[in-house]
Chain A
Amino acid sequence: MSALLELSRVTAFYGESQALFGVDLQVGEGEAVALMGRNGMGKTTTIRTIMRMLRHSDGSIRFSGRDLGPLASHRVARAGIGLVPEGRRCFAPLSVEENLVSAARSGPWDIAAVTRLFPRLGERLSQKAGLLSGGEQQMLAIGRALMTNPRLLILDEATEGLAPVVRQEIWAAIRDLKSAGLSILVVDKSIRELASVADRCVVLEKGESVWAGATGDLTHDVTARYLGV
């Protein structure tokens, strides 16, 4: 499988303090990869570096063979990486439809396709995004990322703080996206759910990738050591 996204020995700083000490990560075409690690180990920082919201100082980040290093943040999105940011905030004053339209780029994902994936959004197209429930806002955030017609979807803590029923709905949607062939990089706390989606896992510890392998090989030993479960 050819690597769509490839990070190799990536280091990054927040001002003076080093946050990433060497992250290796690959996401293949059509593959789902889980980025795991305890709080503060650099998962979100890694994503911010991929999206060029934070410059890396060393190592390389390539997407579809192209070096992302010199690109501005919005160019990375245009190159085909859709981000569902942590905190799931949508554009609160805009309606659901307006949120989706604001991100639209031509491709198979349009409003009809997004509302097929999340029928709840279809029922609330004219409602203000700020008045949606947390789960609906998360669905909208995913929908908005899909409207850019990405080749790789990055989900940062997509189900955090949501009711179990809503989580199930979102995980089901993520599994649908995966089986439709979309490449996915996902960060989450629920190892069980991650395991149901991800082909492979990469574990971060203190800003460094310390374990990578097939999800099936994720032993209790690894999870206990790095994830504290």
Chain B
Amino acid sequence: MFRETTVNTALVAILVAVPLVAQAAGEPFIITLATKVAIFAMAGVGLNIALGYGGLVSFGHAAFFGIGGYAAGILASHAQSYTPLMTWPFAIGGTQQMLIIWPVALAASGIAALVIGALSLRTSGVYFIMITLAFAQMVFYFAVSWPAYGGEDGLPIYVRDKFPGLNTLDPLQFFAVAFACFLLAVLVSVVLSRSRFGLALQGARQNVERVRAVGIDPYRLRLVAFVISGMITGLAGALYADLNRFVSPSMLSWQTSGEIMVFVILGGVGRHFGPLAGAALFILLEHELGSVSEYWQFLLGLLLLLVVLFAHGGLIGVLTRRPHRD
């Protein structure tokens, strides 16, 4: 079969080729789909750091995805209405600059991940899954019941946020922004997984006591991983808000957490480009089968079942015939 690098290169090449061909064919909707794949894959890359390397089954990553999205939405809405975000102790206005929105999204999701992680990581196993879910639901209900920013109806971003030198309203240019962010996230995940930190994180997944025996505190190790994981997913959320020019509590819902997890599991847990394979297949199924039947998720479920039962390395594992990471 194929080497993992070959598969990864092919996946990235397809992701780049599809919007270019779509542009030539005058199909902007396909470019939007490819952008969605890049953004979902990035959210998955974030979760993969916690789930794939740390073995932390977080069922609450929608919280970070949504918080990143709301960071973009709230800043943009203040900029659009020319109202300050806050006036005390100092005045802060809104902005439509992605280069300002992104650090805010990263910081907001990072702080949320720090708080949620600090409490959740005191538990493990099924309790960890439940407590991350519970936190995400808290954020979800908070967003639903917060009228200032649209509550249940969500918050529109009338004009897509700006990036210096680019016209983000052009689908292909916005794709380029999302794609670059995705690649950067993968790079972070690769560097992290090969560092001493990342190796210890993978060690802790197998045996916590052995990690302690070499002088590393597994709690801190996992907390840092969880925060980085949440931040990457948060940045993906900010991009997703800009893609749709709309933020709503559905970004924070537990279905979103489940979908991000599906990208990771479908593609191959703990593989750098697994989330890309997973997100691409997800979008493909949603698009192709969604037009055939509204019950397309039944087939997605079936596929997920097959992957979990028979293909432990996910799609990448099937293509490389290597159930385990290289």
A interface residue numbers (CB < 8 A to B): 51, 53, 72-75, 77-78, 82-83, 85, 89, 91-94, 98-99, 101-105, 144-145, 147-148
B202 within 8 A of A: yes
When distances are taken between beta carbons in the complex, the residues of chain B under 8 Å from A99 are: 199, 203
A91-B207, A93-B324 as given contacts; A145 in contact with B213, CB under 8 Å = yes
When distances are taken between beta carbons in the complex, the residues of chain A under 8 Å from B218 are: 74
Q: Mark B204-248, 1 if CB is under 8 A from A, else 0.
A: 001101111111111000000000000000000000000000000
Asked if A98 and B209 make an inter-chain contact with CB atoms under 8 angstroms apart, the answer reads no
Among B202, B210, B216, B324, contact of A85 (Cβ-Cβ < 8 Å) = B210
Q: How far is the CA of A89 from the CA of B207 in the complex (A)?
A: 9
Asked if A94 and B199 make an inter-chain contact with CB atoms under 8 angstroms apart, the answer reads yes
Return the chain A residue nearest B200 by Cβ: A102
Asked if A78 and B209 make an inter-chain contact with CB atoms under 8 angstroms apart, the answer reads no
B196 within 8 A of A: yes
Main secondary structure on B side of the interface with A: helix
Asked if B215 and A94 make an inter-chain contact with CB atoms under 8 angstroms apart, the answer reads no
Q: How far is the CA of A109 from the CA of B8 in the complex (A)?
A: 37
Within the complex, the shortest CB–CB distance from B175 to chain A, in Å, comes to 35
Among A53, A75, A98, A144, contact of B214 (Cβ-Cβ < 8 Å) = A144
B287 within 8 A of A: no
B325 within 8 A of A: yes
Within the complex, the shortest CB–CB distance from A43 to chain B, in Å, comes to 17
Asked if A103 and B209 make an inter-chain contact with CB atoms under 8 angstroms apart, the answer reads no
Within the complex, the shortest CB–CB distance from B25 to chain A, in Å, comes to 44
B interface residue numbers (CB < 8 A to A): 196, 199-200, 202-203, 206-207, 209-218, 324-325
Asked if A83 and B206 make an inter-chain contact with CB atoms under 8 angstroms apart, the answer reads no
When distances are taken between beta carbons in the complex, the residues of chain A under 8 Å from B217 are: 72, 74-75
17 other A-B residue contacts (CB within 8 Å) besides A74-B212, A93-B325: A73-B212, A74-B215, A74-B217, A77-B212, A77-B215, A83-B213, A85-B209, A85-B210, A91-B199, A91-B203, A91-B207, A91-B210, A92-B206, A98-B202, A102-B203, A105-B215, A148-B215
Q: How far is the CA of A83 from the CA of B213 in the complex (A)?
A: 6
Return the chain A residue nearest B217 by Cβ: A74
A94-B203, A101-B199, A148-B215 as given contacts; A89 in contact with B209, CB under 8 Å = no
When distances are taken between beta carbons in the complex, the residues of chain A under 8 Å from B203 are: 91, 94, 99, 102
Q: How far is the CA of A73 from the CA of B325 in the complex (A)?
A: 30
Could you show 9 A-B contacts with beta carbons less than 8 Å apart?
Answer: A73-B209, A73-B213, A74-B216, A77-B212, A77-B213, A85-B213, A91-B202, A92-B206, A94-B203
Within the complex, the shortest CB–CB distance from A144 to chain B, in Å, comes to 6
Q: How far is the CA of A72 from the CA of B218 in the complex (A)?
A: 11
Within the complex, the shortest CB–CB distance from A47 to chain B, in Å, comes to 10
When distances are taken between beta carbons in the complex, the residues of chain B under 8 Å from A93 are: 202, 206, 324-325
When distances are taken between beta carbons in the complex, the residues of chain A under 8 Å from B206 are: 91-93
